[in-house]
Structure 1
Amino acid sequence: MGRKVAYVYDETFAYHHYGPGHPMKPARLMLAHNLVLTYGLHRKMDCFRPHRATAGEMMQYHSPEYIDFIRRASPSTAKALANEAQKFNMGEGTDCPIFNDMFDFCSLYSGGSLDGAVRLNHGLSDICINWPGGLHHAKKTEGSGFCYVNDIVLAILEMLKFHPRVLYIDIDIHHGDGVEEAFYMTDRVMTCSFHKFGDFFPGTGELTDTGSGKGAGYCVNFPLKEGMTDQDFARVFKPIIRRIMEIYRPGAVVLQCGADSLTGDRLGCFNLTVDGHAECVRFVKSFGVPLLLVGGGGYTVNNVARCWAFETAVAVGEDKDLSAEIPAHEFSGYFAPGHRIHLTPKASLQNNNTKEYLEKYKNIILQNLQDLQGAPSVAMQELPPEAFLENPEAAGVVVKPSALLS
């Protein structure tokens, strides 16, 4: 019997715009969604529009002052709010511009991840997909790396109301620093990031960063070099995730599928193909644990669309039968000239991850994991209030699947 998959999307995601010249293009979500429709994958899922997360929901992690600023900030108020903007690492001179309807954008993608967490908690879905989410760099009181509200942290906090342990996995080319920082001192969330390290944003995520206090040992970082290939990525990803699942035994998993680790990304320097990237989704799915899939980085928009559409197919078990040639549709021009779902790695891009380097780091991580004293337990006493109880339909808890989302 197949696993129940829920898919969250709203057509207004693509209406938001970070500004001219900015590499983050929300329109990539429209391209990915249209591929999902073109391949008929929506017929294999329960499709929902996300509720808009409230300021109060965002404040479950972020500071009230920070969220209040995001509500008030717009291009028309940016000059008057310049001092506040700098305090929160936004606006001129930062990588987090102030743009129109910024709060609404954050509300939508955060609401989608919260909806996914609630559905997983209630057993209404086995896998939930929110490609607009995954903004893993946002901190408690500041924006960072094109990220404003950390929807991943909000979703994990919701999951912790039902699950003693949650695992977060990050395959974006950039280190998942915002999520790691939020849970660095707890053993209830294990974070595991595979990322480019060195002279590369955000400059964090060393092998020796393994958590602190009660969270010591529950943070895993695999620093990688440019040119990473499918084969080498799988060689380190699979044994580490397998060991984590055996030892940590999470009740739920969040997998951040940032597509900037693909070959040919505007800001990336890895050489992964769509299928190599999706192999991580296949592998994590194989454990049968409630799974939230979110997006993240990705700056060559047609490749992002290819990746997330194909990973949607993996989630619903249709990837083996998916046509390699993308069927004709409204946005076919974006996938010319080949019109193929898959990518070819760049032969000219040297892989600087030697076998010796990968084996050394893999073995250190595996040993660190082996030294953990089994899965931590937690007394689940009276549960905190669930999100959306005042309006359960907003989370898709009792709502029926919508018609075709256009």
Structure 2
Amino acid sequence: MPRSPSPSPPLDDPHLQRSTKRRVSYFYDPDVGGFAYPYQHPMKPHRMRMAHALIGAYGMLGQMQVVRPKRADELQLTRFHTDEYIEFLKSITAENYMEWTANKKFCQTDDCPPWDGLFDFATLTAGSSISAAHSLVTGHSDIAIAWAGGLHHAKRAEASGFCYVNDIVLGILELLRAHARVLYVDIDIHHGDGVEEAFYTTDRVMTCSFHKFGDFFPGTGTVGDVGKGRGKGYAVNVPLRDGLSDEKFVETFKSVIGRVMEWYRPGAVVLQGGADSLAGDKLGVFNLSMNGHAACAAYMRGFNVPLLMVGGGGYTVKNVSRTWTYETAVAIGCTDQISPDLPDNEYLEWFGPRYKLEVLCNNQEDYNTTEYVEGIKQKIWENMRDLPHAPSAGVSELQEGRRTWRGDDWEEEDSDMDDLDKRISRAPFSLIIKYHISDG
């Protein structure tokens, strides 16, 4: 028998400040649900259209600024990805499948097949996260939501884990224009390897991933993976076991993130809300309810720091759409106005037989013992123990001068930011992170 639904996130937590209003911007392109990975592929972009329909049916669109994002252009994509890789993505269609599979340079596995519309989809997802991040940078939003984003496995020149372009890295680069430090938090069941790898050698971005570890894709993210060089200590990994329950997860999340927020003091936070950590996911092995998953969004909202919320994994589409709908309500601060009975909408038949806004946990055993979780946390505290508080340059330092890559070194540059972006896109990525600065 399934367990009773988990309670809503506790409202007496001082971090939540639930009654405080936030200016929320919601980035959605109606074309997103029309894209389709190859037949029987588990990734279904249609889930974003279902979530949007539910969000609208609950009347939440009128409580946010709704924005159709600009699609990313090639110049924006090459702020992280190589020119050669982006050119290759542009050339791939379902018809030249053999060229894709033969070229292992850009895709090592079979989980990212070519399909018609792939590049357009990549520009849409990347554009959603960049536009959402820009709304935070310019002060137009306190919270920006881009459920189409969250594709955290893509590397600089490699597709991986259903992800072709890493919109999260691109969004973080946008945030680094105005913020000395950005915290990335990942609650997808899979390790956020692409984002961690991108920022592994810098203290400007701290990555924190809660994920299943063991015989599970991508096989990275041990508690000992902490960063390298200047970034040593700025990668936090919380490897977890099968059957993770609400109680263990929420307590661990608040314990780790509470300490990270107090110590790192980021200027902005990116929360990747991959929904494959929910109970009953087709590719997942955790046992989180909708409320347990949403407690993370509620907790991050309470810090009153600019917050970018993106999507990610999630392969039981009705549960993904339910959860992202509820987490949209969390962002707005209107969960008390949300009925557990689903309102009429064009996809209502997908949610039978109960027609409820819920994802229930089940009777799966939780292998995350108290001893195991406490041991992981102690290792994390040890990794952080000798690090300085609030590292790296302050905003005033970042605004003192612009720097441009001249082939083998950086020089001061007073030209406009658009010209700077063109040259930065050709620089070694470790240096892009170090000197990707604000307009000043």
- Residue 55 (structure 2) pairs with residue 36 (structure 1): yes
Partner of residue 74 from structure 2, selected from 55, 78, 85: 55
Deviations 1:40-87 (A, max 9, x none): 111110001110100110000001010001111101233355533x32
Query: Structure 1 length normalisation: TM-score?
Result: 0.92
1:14 equivalent among 18, 26, 33: 33
Matched, 1:223 2:239: yes
The verdict on how the C-alpha distance between 1:367 and 1:99 changes in structure 2, with shifts beyond 3 A counting, is same
Partner of 1:354: 369
| Shift in Å, 1:12 | 0.8
Change in 2 beyond 3 A, CA 1:304/1:388: farther
1:248-276 superposed Cα distances (whole Å, 9 cap, x missing partner): 01000000000000000000000000110
Give the alignment of 1:185-334 within 5 angstroms.
Answer: 185-334=201-350
Q: Which of 86, 99, 112 is equivalent to 2:128?
A: 112
The answer on whether the counterparts of 2:100 and 2:114 sit within 8 Å (CA) in structure 1 is no
- Out of 97, 105, 129, which is 1:87 matched to? 105
Runs of 4+ in 1 over 6 A off after TM superposition: 387-390
SS in 1 for 2:328: helix
Cα deviation 1:195-249 (Å, max 9, x = unaligned): 0000000000000000100001000000000000111001111011111111101
Contact 1:224–1:353 (8 Å) recurs in 2? yes
8 Å Cα contact 2:323/2:359 also seen in 1: no
**Aligned mates of 1:94, 1:56 — CA distance in 2:** 28
Cross-structure match for 1:366: 381
Determine if contact 1:63/1:141 at 8 Å carries over to the other structure.
Answer: yes
Q: Which residue of 1 is the match for residue 392 of structure 2? A: 377
More moved, 372-381 vs 59-68 = 372-381
SS at match of 2:94: coil
The offset of 1:95, in angstroms, is 0.2
Q: Per the alignment, do residues 325 and 386 of structure 1 end up closer, same or farther by CA in structure 2, a change over 3 Å counting?
A: farther
The offset of 1:389, in angstroms, is 12
1:204 is paired with a residue whose SS is coil
Contact persistence 2:203–2:392 (CA under 8 A): no
1:123 and 2:142 aligned: no
Equivalent residue of 2:185, what SS? Answer: strand
| 8 Å contact kept, 1:161–1:386 | no
1:139 alignment partner, SS class: coil
2:97–2:113 CA contact under 8 A, matched in 1: no
Give the counterpart letter for 1:362 in structure 2: K
Percent of pairs with identical residues: 51
Shift of 1:369: 2.3
What amino acid maps onto 1:232 in structure 2? K
Unaligned runs of 5+ in 2: 1-19, 404-415, 422-440
Instruction: Identify which range, 365-374 or 202-211, moves more after superposition.
Output: 365-374
Match of 1:5 among 20, 24, 29: 24
1: CA distance, partners of 2:211 / 2:100:
35
Q: TM-score, normalised by structure 2?
A: 0.85
Unaligned runs of 5+ residues in structure 1 are 391-406
**Which residue number in structure 1 is paired with residue 85 of structure 2?**
66
Structure 2 CA distance for partners of 1:360 and 1:335, relative to 1, 3 Å = same
Cα pair 1:5 1:127 within 8 Å, conserved: yes
Bigger Cα displacement from structure 2, 135-144 vs 363-372? 363-372
> Would the alpha carbon gap of residues 383 and 51 (structure 1) be closer, same or farther in structure 2, given more than 3 Å must change?
farther
